[in-house]
Structure 1
């Protein structure tokens, strides 16, 4: 029977069907053949959709077999790291070290020692250990470039260390070098990893088209059927489809990403789930989004992928604000010291000046770092904050800069997700003739015409004439119009993404300035003054 399995394995291998060849090799208990098939000539089976079968086989092997082949302990540890079983990695590496006496070749022994060190180093980077990242950067930069030319993995890890340290420019350079060397040496595995990392860095530089092309290149490298290693590429494409408002394609790619990520317990599941949460929020299913985020946050904490927690928390803050849970949002933003989230909370509280005070130094920091995506988001919040502060000229100046950056790459959801305030600001931009084609597309995506029909009033490019001792702010005029349209405080809070308490506070200010006590009196007085 074993001989038949060997023949079958040889035949499947000749046809290029390594997964089937591997199954027959392990059925024949041909360990050497199974080892070679796992290696895959630079593209290991465990990154090509065969992670679970490879792991199951390694777990079934006797300790004596692994001790006789210390490199298999290292492969075992590598697969465990891929599936997120981080606590099991170190014991396997220690087992490899203990079995090193079984290796006769000095060169092979040194090679295995290097692999163990590299895996420990990678785990430190992937768990965002700042000491490990600094050590990686220092050690790699000390190595002679001629040595690095045969070590694409070292270049990729150098890129990761830079990337997670916030130094994106040198990270991109390292990723590009890693891809070049991996192609020259035929290391498909590192090519996939470095290309995925490069695509993400390009995406964060607001180059959506180039990023999408790079993510698609990753999928071609992975092949069909795709393994878990492709989940980040699918998530990246989902984000880009989402940004360009192709929600159906975003959903498809997001679900595929999560399906692959769930095959193993890796940090990439966070990326996949956040994409789908974006879609839930876009569809107005805030409760489901909050529930998903709670589960994700719990898992991230359990798995110690702490470097992903800020992404999860920032999304939680956004979801809480959409649901009107202002205190919960504020507490999270303070606890995790997320300035952009804190600015959003201030804006939702009606404190535009505090938001601006937070955003200006943050923008300068981001410009100094060269973080383009985050800078764009901050500028957009600055424009909305100026608008909420009744400074339309400042709002339009900043918005014009944002539109100039966003138009070439077709950004849409960055604007749409800001809701009614953005619709009003874009209407003001349209009235002033700013980038008319692009603004028209964005207003259409926001459903401005439908919204204006509902509210019976388009946002005005100039302030209405007021004869009040203390004029109403732009936000107060906006709320007054919604009151006149018969919306309840709860409906206004949902429409404008404000906390209910914030809406009630605006009502008190409106009543005080109009010198009235009731909604009907406020509407009547506003009509007398020509405010409605």
Structure 2
């Protein structure tokens, strides 16, 4: 049962100062999704939001959070309950569905809430008061997903004592966020006077109000301290000189001078800590009573902000901490330096490496930074933090990097993970020269130099893969494996991942699975979340495409849980793997859950938009096209798969594995769209392709058999399928075996061999039921779906039989297209197609322009610079550069003027 009082908006206090200038900032606009009201206790956050809600005419759901709500199930129950209490149609059904849910994955619930809001269409407002109680990493990720896909017009307002660990930087770039921080909450002179007279009940003159407001810079907590201390006005001659980040000397004096000496010393000694806990404070102060001191500060609510609900971690209010730091640096500079060093040593010893580095960078201690990066940088890079590491390396004086082999290797890995491959070869050559000199000169670290040679070989193996030099890649990888046990560098996970890629590229899937399992195992030992995720994702992709759908899903979930336990910084983007998310999308699509499939596809689309490496581009577009095909969006699926096939062929030499057979799936789309000639032409254009991956070969030949049936060539199809059946069966390719049997049974039926056809189709149904395939059966031809429905094997009781029968019956009502899903489609992944006229005009191009590229072209035509285009489109400048690069490539030009001229020739721009 939910506590309904949590849904009640506080009644506005008639004595409270009216903040009309701030209420105006909270008013919705067409682009905003989030109001963020952040300030410590006593800044009037709740009062401000309540005042604004009283004026707001939109339907509003209010939820006051508490320390018990930092748990996903309870949180979403209350959020949905708040909407239900406020009258959102459908919220009650959603809450009941959530109550019956037995697993811990609430993305489906969040998607349901988004779709419910979209269906209602009203400009809803959701207020979450005291959001600082929400700190669980997984819950914050779910909330990020919720906000990412809010329908237009829906606005969320968060009131919190701390800035939540959400992807706020990305949202701010998109202009989704209205920030109201302590600086904006600062009172004006008139509000200051109203506060003292109306709220505090003190009669003061306008001059006194002006003086206090100036001295406190409008900080209501400081004004309250002034009022409670009995000072109606500031002491004579007391001058304040602070910038926007520092609290006034007057307020700092009022706080510190009124504290007992031991408490004042504690405040000053711990100001160097970015966060506080008793263990850290004891280490820094070289004392043992920090827990007691923290409890005293917490009891006085003295600018100490809890970071969890267990009262273990805290931080000072930023303005207060800055003032403390300024005071101790001015009065005790040597003591301040010692405290700072103690803080960093504790952070490093307890695994808070990034916080420690931030403190080192702040003090510009470059020798220490170089030591820390040499020791911890490799793990940071393989945990997904390659871009910050590159930034830190760039901050170092050049000589510290060029004279340090570990830092040079670190830079090479960082550039590799950032996909900046062109600059690696000269860096590798320079590093090898340095290592050779060290070995020749018997340098003290000569042993370490020999160890780095293995890393260089491993890097060269990855570069060889990007050049499709499979032999060199394989030879180098095996060389590293022979040397790896004699080095101190944890390389086994990355090496086995490379080996798995080699086997996968050659189509040796069993060997690939073994290597990838080793990569996962060693990656967990070496604490390399990024490698574990990539290796486990590719392993799951192979398992799914072989037909082991349950094992693939189990692998994905186990890997995800391990990564989330070891990579739990919700302020950073969530680590994702193209392989794993694509596999999960395929699994949930196959199980007829398109909403959940779409939720796993969505994070990948941004990579396609920004311009990812070609292999990932093909995989993502293939999966995206498959989902569109399953949902009956055939025209959209065809365009997506044409793009996948084009990129897979044009950039084949840059892809380290054989990409999925997009042409085979494209041919199926043409067949479903009643275009058998286009299906045949599509496959004929790929007839010269040599497949090394047996799964891709089987898929292509299955598509050939379907095209033969569509052209009434059943005997030819039968002969082709007979050649396919035994290898698929021997290799355990169960998914393709089911498809082979289905199409084989259809061919037998067309040849009037009905008894044999029924036996083959019944066997296919048995294998499909055992594996849990659902969509696979509903995507075959109309004739075959009708044949399946008539089979006695499908008309026996059973949950799987009932589900498949319903899906097939639904499909036959829709004609030749694949059956629509039994569950609602998730809108977020539906692509925004270009207008039909633009599509016709770009037919002359080898690859049509995307909608975003057309937008960039129009803004170039208007004369905007790249930075202006980024601002207009609410994207990063790097994204604009990627669009322009793709635009030039498709138009076959090298400059803006050429692009505009070519676009006018094609009719994309007015002449």
Give TM-score, length-normalised by structure 1: 0.71
- Does residue 106 of structure 1 match 2:454? no
Partner of 1:82: 417
Which of the residues 591, 600, 603 maps onto 1:256? Answer: 603
Contact 2:499 2:512 in 1 (8 A): yes
Cα pair distance change 1:308/1:196, threshold 3 Å: same
Partner of 2:432: 97
Q: Deviations over 1:330-374 (max 9, x none)?
A: 323424354233223222222122222222212223334443333
Cα pair distance change 1:294/1:53, threshold 3 Å: farther
Q: Deviations over 1:133-189 (max 9, x none)?
A: 653686578779999998343333333322322222233233333333444454545
Kindly report which structure 2 residues correspond to 1:111-190, keeping only aligned pairs within 5 A, or say none. 111-125=451-465, 129-132=469-472, 134-135=474-475, 151-190=492-531
- Does residue 322 of structure 1 match 2:680? no
Cα pair distance change 1:178/1:398, threshold 3 Å: same
Kindly report which structure 2 residues correspond to 1:39-58, keeping only aligned pairs within 5 A, or say none. 43-45=379-381, 47-48=383-384, 50-56=385-391
- Stretch of structure 1 that moved more, 141-150 or 238-247: 141-150
Partner of 1:451: 812
Cα pair distance change 1:423/1:139, threshold 3 Å: same
Paired with 2:486 and 2:432, the residues of 1 have a C-alpha distance of 28
Paired with 2:609 and 2:355, the residues of 1 have a C-alpha distance of 23
Which of the residues 305, 319, 323 maps onto 2:655? Answer: 305
Cα pair distance change 1:423/1:216, threshold 3 Å: same
Cα pair distance change 1:283/1:150, threshold 3 Å: closer
Partner of 1:462: none
Q: Deviations over 1:419-463 (max 9, x none)?
A: 4233212113147857865343212123x16736989xxxxxxxx
For residue 293 of structure 1, report the CA deviation from its aligned partner. Answer: 2.8
Cα pair distance change 1:416/1:90, threshold 3 Å: farther
SS at match of 2:790: helix
Unaligned segments of structure 1, at least 5 residues:
456-532
Partner of 2:780: 418
For residue 255 of structure 1, report the CA deviation from its aligned partner. Answer: 0.7
Paired with 1:66 and 1:149, the residues of 2 have a C-alpha distance of 22
Paired with 1:298 and 1:85, the residues of 2 have a C-alpha distance of 23
- Stretch of structure 1 that moved more, 13-22 or 193-202: 13-22
SS at match of 2:518: helix
Paired with 2:732 and 2:526, the residues of 1 have a C-alpha distance of 32
Q: Which has the higher contact order (CA 8 A, sep 6+)?
A: 1
Which of the residues 387, 392, 400 maps onto 2:762? Answer: 400
For residue 113 of structure 1, report the CA deviation from its aligned partner. Answer: 1.1
For residue 65 of structure 1, report the CA deviation from its aligned partner. Answer: 4.6
Paired with 2:811 and 2:633, the residues of 1 have a C-alpha distance of 21
Cα pair distance change 1:280/1:204, threshold 3 Å: closer
Paired with 2:787 and 2:390, the residues of 1 have a C-alpha distance of 55
Q: Deviations over 1:236-280 (max 9, x none)?
A: 211111110000100111112334676773433433332221121
Kindly report which structure 2 residues correspond to 1:324-473, keeping only aligned pairs within 5 A, or say none. 324=675, 325-336=678-689, 338-430=700-792, 438-446=800-808, 448=809, 451=812
SS at match of 1:307: coil
Partner of 2:620: 272
Contact 2:382 2:528 in 1 (8 A): no
Paired with 1:442 and 1:236, the residues of 2 have a C-alpha distance of 22
Paired with 1:40 and 1:221, the residues of 2 have a C-alpha distance of 21
For residue 214 of structure 1, report the CA deviation from its aligned partner. Answer: 1.6
Cα pair distance change 1:163/1:453, threshold 3 Å: closer
- Does residue 243 of structure 1 match 2:597? no
SS at match of 1:180: helix
- Stretch of structure 1 that moved more, 323-332 or 247-256: 323-332
SS at match of 1:198: helix
Paired with 1:169 and 1:356, the residues of 2 have a C-alpha distance of 29
For residue 43 of structure 1, report the CA deviation from its aligned partner. Answer: 4.2
- Does residue 73 of structure 1 match 2:73? no
Determine which structure has more spread, i.e. the larger CA radius of gyration.
2
Contact 2:516 2:535 in 1 (8 A): yes
- Does residue 233 of structure 1 match 2:233? no
Contact 2:370 2:400 in 1 (8 A): no
Paired with 1:20 and 1:218, the residues of 2 have a C-alpha distance of 26
Cα pair distance change 1:432/1:194, threshold 3 Å: closer
Unaligned segments of structure 2, at least 5 residues:
1-325, 330-336, 691-699, 817-911
Q: Deviations over 1:452-481 (max 9, x none)?
A: 6989xxxxxxxxxxxxxxxxxxxxxxxxxx
Paired with 1:445 and 1:217, the residues of 2 have a C-alpha distance of 31
Cα pair distance change 1:30/1:192, threshold 3 Å: farther
Paired with 2:656 and 2:521, the residues of 1 have a C-alpha distance of 31
Cα pair distance change 1:186/1:438, threshold 3 Å: closer
Paired with 2:446 and 2:349, the residues of 1 have a C-alpha distance of 34
Cα pair distance change 1:283/1:17, threshold 3 Å: farther
Which of the residues 532, 549, 571 maps onto 1:191? Answer: 532
Richer in helix (by share): 1
Contact 1:58 1:76 in 2 (8 A): yes
Output the aligned Cα RMSD.
4.0
Paired with 2:408 and 2:485, the residues of 1 have a C-alpha distance of 30
Paired with 2:814 and 2:602, the residues of 1 have a C-alpha distance of 36
Paired with 2:797 and 2:744, the residues of 1 have a C-alpha distance of 19
Paired with 1:145 and 1:18, the residues of 2 have a C-alpha distance of 27
Paired with 1:394 and 1:126, the residues of 2 have a C-alpha distance of 48
Q: Deviations over 1:295-319 (max 9, x none)?
A: 3344443472163444333333333
Cα pair distance change 1:61/1:43, threshold 3 Å: closer
Partner of 1:290: 638
Paired with 1:12 and 1:174, the residues of 2 have a C-alpha distance of 36
For residue 41 of structure 1, report the CA deviation from its aligned partner. Answer: 8.0
Cα pair distance change 1:37/1:235, threshold 3 Å: farther
Contact 1:80 1:86 in 2 (8 A): yes
Contact 1:42 1:186 in 2 (8 A): no
Paired with 1:388 and 1:438, the residues of 2 have a C-alpha distance of 27
Paired with 2:780 and 2:375, the residues of 1 have a C-alpha distance of 48
Paired with 2:764 and 2:476, the residues of 1 have a C-alpha distance of 37
Contact 1:215 1:233 in 2 (8 A): yes
Cα pair distance change 1:178/1:454, threshold 3 Å: closer
